[in-house]
């Protein structure tokens, strides 16, 4: 057997996100066949995790395009980062660069000056996301230089295909281990779980308004919200606004606002129903985690969740931003234990049939070796 290929994964996450978790999961799963290196932002809190796993890490000063002043330095920093990555690749015999989303263009620049290196680009954004004004440009740039494009869902593939003739492979995110029912200890209350980083557009505000309506009709419901702010000031402001809304809606005894929850099993063991009311999701790692743990899901038709959660089979899909539909679905599941049990059992079947890590990882491995 020859030497293992060295692969550099470039990920912009400054904290623990679904995108980072998914790529780390597949890297660890394939670690027997490849040597993985990670390139992350200098301010990322993920370095500790990678170091503990003995995964080589290089840190760079990534600047994301935004309305803030640092955007003026975007192109110079992009060139600097690309030169540093090119040097790192040469020193560490990197054969494949795998960029974990479309907005990081360093891989494309490296490929422009080193055609021998293989470039794989993940597509984890929908055109309807916060980046809609730049989406078309990003897709065209990465499609020009990438050897392979990988979409995390069929809807992400459909969006990208509007702007490139290059084939786009769909490789779903997966979780290590087999689906297993995680039961909650008996309680008189029905508990909803909202597990998402505190980022505007993630739908926490919709969840609070909907829950308020349900709580007035069925006082035996509770809700847990848990997530991180990724150290971003705007996210901290958003979380504070949620805390103020909880107080104004007189829900302080019914809604618990927590920080980042690293133990998914623990969080899932505390809930009866999982919620995701995001405005735009190319996939949804948390929805996948919910069905892997046998939890019924109420989610918006925001993209990926509709592919993960089969409507009226393992959960309920509602329109984006529809507070009335969310309230109705939450009321339905909070008062119907039989339906919660039915959806939960079907959730395990859905997870086992559609999201097998061995199968999805083998698809990515085939691209590494193509």
pLDDT at 72: 63
**Beta carbons within 10 angstroms of residue 145's beta carbon:** 16
Give dist(CA 344, CA 362) in Å, integer.
Answer: 28
Regions of the chain with pLDDT less than 70: 1-2, 64-72, 186
- What is the per-residue pLDDT across 114-138, written as a single tens digit (0 to 9) for each? 999 999 999 999 999 888 889 999 9
Torsion-angle region of 70 (φ positive above 0: left; ψ -120 to 50: alpha; else: beta): alpha
Question: How buried is residue 11: exposed, middle or buried, by Cβ count under 10 Å (0-12/13-18/19+)?
Answer: buried
- Please state which of the four CATH numbers 3.40.50.2300, 3.40.718.10, 3.40.50.300, 3.40.50.2000 is assigned to the domain occupying 5-174+356-369: 3.40.50.2000
CATH 3.40.50.2000 in the chain: give the residue spans. Answer: 5-174+356-369, 190-354
Burial call 334-353: b when 16+ CB within 10 Å, e when fewer: beeeeebeebbebbbebbee
Residue 39 has a pLDDT of 98
The reported pLDDT for the residue numbered 67 is 47
- CATH 3.40.50.2000 at 190-354, yes or no: yes
In whole angstroms, what is the distance from residue 144 CA to residue 206 CA? 39
The model's pTM:
0.91
């Amino acid at each position: 057997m020859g030497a293992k290929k060295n692969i550099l994964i470039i990920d912009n996450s400054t904290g623990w996100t679904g995108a980072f978790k998914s790529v780390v999961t597949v890297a660890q799963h394939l670690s027997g066949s490849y040597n993985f290196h990670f390139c992350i932002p200098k301010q990322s809190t993920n370095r500790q995790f990678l170091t503990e796993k003995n995964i080589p890490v290089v840190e760079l000063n990534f600047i994301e395009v935004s309305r803030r002043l640092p955007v003026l330095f975007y192109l110079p920093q992009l060139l600097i980062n690309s030169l540093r990555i090119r040097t790192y690749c040469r020193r560490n015999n990197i054969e494949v660069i795998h960029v974990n989303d479309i907005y990081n263009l360093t891989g494309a620049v490296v490929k422009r000056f080193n055609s021998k290196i293989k470039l794989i680009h993940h597509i984890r954004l929908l055109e309807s996301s916060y980046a809609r004004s730049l989406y078309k440009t990003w897709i065209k740039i990465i499609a020009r230089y990438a050897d392979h494009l990988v979409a995390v869902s069929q809807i992400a593939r459909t969006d990208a295909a509007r702007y490139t003739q290059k084939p786009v492979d769909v490789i779903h995110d997966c979780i290590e281990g087999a689906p297993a029912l995680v039961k909650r200890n008996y309680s008189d209350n029905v508990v909803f779980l909202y597990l998402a980083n505190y980022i505007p557009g993630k739908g926490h505000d919709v969840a609070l308004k909907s829950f308020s309506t349900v709580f007035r009709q069925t006082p035996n419901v509770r809700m847990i919200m848990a997530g991180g702010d990724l150290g971003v000031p705007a996210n901290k402001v958003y979380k504070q606004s949620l805390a103020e809304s909880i107080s104004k809606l007189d829900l302080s005894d019914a809604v618990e606002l927590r920080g980042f929850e690293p133990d998914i099993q623990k969080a899932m063991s505390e809930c009866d129903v999982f919620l995701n009311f995001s405005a735009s999701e190319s996939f949804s790692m948390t929805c996948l985690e919910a069905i892997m743990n046998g939890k019924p899901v109420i989610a918006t038709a925001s993209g990926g969740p509709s592919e993960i959660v089969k409507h009226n089979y393992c959960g309920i899909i509602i329109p984006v931003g529809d507070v009335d539909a969310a309230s109705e679905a939450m009321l339905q599941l909070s008062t119907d234990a039989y339906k919660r049990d039915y959806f939960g059992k079907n959730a395990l079947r859905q997870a086992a049939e559609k999201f097998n890590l061995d199968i999805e990882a083998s698809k990515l491995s085939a691209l590494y070796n193509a």
